[in-house]
Structure 1
Amino acid sequence: MREIVFDTETTGLNPHNGDRLVEIGCVELYNRVETGRSFHAYFNPGRPMPSEAEAVHGLSDRFLADKPLFHDLCEDLLEFIGDSPLVAHNAAFDFGFLNHELGHCGRPTVCMSRMVDTIVLARQRFPGAKHSLDALCTRFGVDRSIRIKHGALIDAQLLAQVYVELTGGRQIGLGLVAEVIEPRENQTLDPRTLEPAMLVATIRPPRPHAPSEEELERHAAFLAKMSDPIWNRLDSRG
Structure 2
Amino acid sequence: MSRQIVLDTETTGLSAEGGDRIIELGCVELLNRKLTGNNLHLYFNPGRDSHEDALKVHGISNEFLKDKPKFADVVPQILDYLQGAEIIIHNAAFDVGFLNKELELTGRAPFSTYVASITDTLAMAKEMYPGKRNSLDALCDRLGVDNSGRTLHGALLDAELLADVYISLTRGQDALLIVDDAQEGAEGGASAQVDLSRFALQVITANEQELAAHEDVMTQIDKSSGGKTIWRKLSAAV
TM-superposed CA distance for 1:116, in Å, is 0.5
CA contact (8 A) 1:32 1:169 kept: no
> In the TM superposition, what is the alpha-carbon distance from 1:169 to its structure 2 partner?
5.8
Measure, in 1, the Cα distance between the counterparts of 2:110 and 2:84.
12
Describe the shift of the 1:74–1:29 C-alpha distance in structure 2 as closer, same or farther (beyond 3 A): same
Q: 5+ unaligned residues in a row in structure 1: which ranges? A: 171-238
TM-score, structure 1 normalization:
0.69
Is the Cα contact below 8 Å between 1:11 and 1:19 reproduced in 2? Answer: yes
Q: What does residue 91 of structure 1 align with?
A: 92
SS in 1 for 2:103: helix
What code does the residue aligned with 2:77 have?
D
Q: By how many angstroms is 1:84 displaced? A: 0.8
Matching of residue 128 in structure 1 with residue 98 in structure 2: no
1:61 aligns with: 62
Give 1:50-199 correspondences, 5 Å limit.
50-111=51-112, 114-168=117-171
Runs of 4+ in 1 over 2 A off after TM superposition: none
Question: Aligned AA for 2:149?
Answer: I
Q: In the alignment, residue 72 of structure 1 is paired with which amino acid?
A: D
Larger radius of gyration: 1
Distance change in 2, residues 1:169/1:161 (3 Å):
farther
Task: Name 1:35's counterpart in structure 2.
Answer: 36
Distance 2:35 2:87 in 1: 14
Name the Cα RMSD after superposition.
Answer: 1.4
TM-score w.r.t. the length of structure 2 is 0.69
Structure that is richer in helix per residue: 2
Equivalent residues in 2 for 1:11-50 (5 A)?
11-50=12-51
Following superposition, the deviation at residue 38 of structure 1 comes to: 0.4
Letter in 2 for 1:140: L
Verify the 8 A CA contact 1:102 1:109 in the aligned structure 2.
yes
Q: Percent identity?
A: 52
Which consecutive unaligned segments of at least 5 residues does structure 2 have? 174-238
d(CA) in 2 for partners of 1:62, 1:5: 28
1:4–1:28 CA contact under 8 A, matched in 2: yes
Superposition deviation, residue 160 in structure 1: 0.3
Q: Per the alignment, in what secondary structure is the counterpart of residue 15 of structure 1?
A: coil
Structure 2 distance, partners of 1:37, 1:124, is 31
Between the two proteins, the alignment pairs up a number of residues equal to 170
